[in-house]
Amino acid sequence: METRTLSGRITAPLAYQTGDGLTQNIPIGPCLIEGFGGRSIDIIWGEQGQRCAALPLAHAKAAHENGHLVLVGATGPLPESQDC
């Protein structure tokens, strides 16, 4: 599976499920987007990249389409998953 890392920006709080089932928000600000090629992608944020969340690919694509997850230095849609 190929892993790609892209720079991005969260423009509105983006909800995700924690490991214990709680819903939290990824805060507005810069992020890294990793892990294309599966059914989810990782969003990494924080001053030192200390926070991360796995988002289902469909959820990430919807956030990208409505402008809540913006790619920085790249254009077009999020890359397609190879497994879906």
pLDDT over 60 at 83, yes or no: no
User: For the segment 33-68, what is each residue's pLDDT rounded down to a tens digit?
Assistant: 987 677 889 999 998 889 999 999 999 999 999 999
CA atoms of 44 and 51, how far apart (whole Å): 6
CA-based nearest residue to 51, from 82, 29, 73: 29
Geometric angle at alpha carbon 67, from 71 and 76, rounded to 5°: 45
Look-up of token digits 């995700």 = 16
Could you write out the DSSP letters of every residue in 58-76? Answer: HHHHHHHHTTSEEEES--S
pLDDT of amino acid 38: 79
User: For the segment 13-40, what is each residue's pLDDT rounded down to a tens digit?
Assistant: 999 999 899 999 999 999 999 876 778 8
pLDDT of amino acid 80: 55
CB 1 within 8 A of CB 81: no
Q: Which of these ranges, 4-8, 18-22, 76-80, has the smallest mean pLDDT? A: 76-80
